[in-house]
């Protein structure tokens, strides 16, 4: 069981179409859709935003927009129960301060929501999805968005990492699960 109040979820994402997507999620299999850390590509009338959720519906949302068919570094960090951020290409622009801590996290979804892979799956590409059990700093998020190998950033706190260059690479290289 994965239980922690801090988390960082990130990856390089290339969404293919104008729909909502879920690149990475960590959830509780017993409480579907409510108890989770969720990195989500949200298609809004005002633009395509990156959301980071720690239990529904407490989202941090970027103000900057991503583009379809373009690689973007997307991430979310939970530093505490009342401090969560959404990141797009190394820029933190979304914050949520509603008190919320997912508990009993026991499932990871890569390219889909962990509790319901058929809903909001990623229609696109994903590289180097990584999950840490700590909230990374702004400086750490910046260098990751510039291409630093995630395995060089607080490796002892990584609970999941995969290259995802092809379906054959979709394995956890850390083995922390």
Residue 107 contacts residue 28 (beta carbons within 8 Å):
yes
Q: What residue spans of 112-159 are helical by DSSP H?
A: 138-145
Tens digit of pLDDT for each residue in 63-75?
A: 888 888 899 999 9
Tens digit of pLDDT for each residue in 125-146?
A: 889 999 998 999 999 999 999 9
Examine the pLDDT at 119 and tell me if it is beyond 70. no
Question: Binning pLDDT at 50, 70 and 90, where does residue 50 land?
Answer: confident
The sheet with strand 21-27 has its strands ordered as: 59-61, 47-54, 36-44, 21-27, 107-110
Tens digit of pLDDT for each residue in 81-90?
A: 788 889 999 9
> What does the alpha-carbon distance between residue 39 and residue 78 come to, in Å, rounded to a whole number?
11
Question: Binning pLDDT at 50, 70 and 90, where does residue 151 land?
Answer: very high
Quick one: what percent of the chain has pLDDT higher than 70?
77
Nearest to 125 by CA among 114, 108, 109, 111: 111
Average pLDDT, the chain: 80
Residue 39 contacts residue 111 (beta carbons within 8 Å):
no
Which residues, in sequence order, are bridge partners of residue 40? 51
Tens digit of pLDDT for each residue in 10-48?
A: 999 988 876 777 888 777 666 655 667 778 788 776 778
Examine the pLDDT at 168 and tell me if it is beyond 60. no
Q: What residue spans of 92-167 are helical by DSSP H?
A: 138-145
């Amino acid at each position: 069981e994965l239980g922690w109040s801090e988390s960082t979820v990130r990856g390089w994402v290339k969404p293919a179409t104008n729909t909502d997507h879920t690149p990475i999620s960590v959830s509780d299999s017993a409480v579907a859709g409510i108890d989770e850390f969720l990195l989500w590509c949200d298609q809004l009338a005002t633009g395509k935003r990156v959301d980071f959720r720690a239990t529904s519906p407490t989202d941090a949302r970027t103000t900057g927009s991503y583009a379809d068919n373009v690689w973007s570094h997307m991430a979310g960090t939970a530093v505490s129960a009342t401090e969560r951020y959404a990141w797009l290409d190394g820029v933190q622009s979304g914050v949520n301060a509603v008190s919320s801590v997912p508990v009993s996290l026991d499932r990871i979804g890569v390219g889909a929501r962990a509790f319901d892979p058929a809903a909001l799956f990623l229609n696109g590409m994903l590289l180097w999805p990584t999950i840490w059990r700590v909230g990374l700093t702004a400086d750490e998020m910046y260098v990751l968005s510039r291409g630093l190998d995630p395995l060089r950033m607080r490796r002892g706190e990584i609970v999941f990492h995969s290259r995802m260059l092809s379906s054959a690479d979709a394995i956890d290289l850390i083995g922390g699960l």
